[in-house]
Amino acid sequence: MCHLTIQQLGFEELAQAWPLARTASHYQSCEMWRRSAVHLMGRVGGVIAIAADDGCFHGMATYEPITKPRGGRVLHVETMATFELSHRAPVRRALRDALVGFARLFDCDAVNVAMPDRGYLKGPIKQAEAAANTALD
């Protein structure tokens, strides 16, 4: 089993995370991704990555601690992606554990992972999801 390392990304590593970020987000270009990540870092959030022994990123997530009116303090994860070939999911587990650690660090009660609309929900289900999301805000 390879050794996985969790890294807090700085401005210079954002381009290296772009291949993963584009699989799980709406960003049309690496530059859009970098601008969004820099904006996030300028607030209180950031980007973490899971790297293997060879230095390649196999997982990444953006995070930002926010306060929701009815939800309390929440670690919001807008973009999360992993690449792994094992059904044991070591990268996803490491990413999950890191995000839970960040939630504790920022005194959050929960971790909220955004689920992007990929066009799979239609009709009443999609309307119910929209109503539920509106109710949470």
For residue 31, count other CB atoms closer than 10 A to its CB: 11
Q: What is the mean pLDDT of each run of 10 residues along the chain (137 residues)?
A: 88 93 84 93 94 92 91 89 85 92 92 69 46 43
Which structural domain, as residue segments, surrounds residue 117?
5-136
Give the count of alpha carbons within 13 A of 38, CB side only.
10
Please report, for the domain that includes residue 112, its CATH number.
3.40.630.30
**In the prediction, which pLDDT does 9 show?**
95
Provide the number of structural domains found in the chain.
1
DSSP 12-45: GGHHHHHHHHTTSS---SHHHHHHHHHHHHHTT-
**In the prediction, which pLDDT does 71 show?**
74
**In the prediction, which pLDDT does 67 show?**
92
pTM of the model: 0.79
**In whole angstroms, what is the distance from residue 44 CA to residue 53 CA?**
29
**In whole angstroms, what is the distance from residue 106 CA to residue 77 CA?**
13
**In the prediction, which pLDDT does 68 show?**
86
**In the prediction, which pLDDT does 25 show?**
76
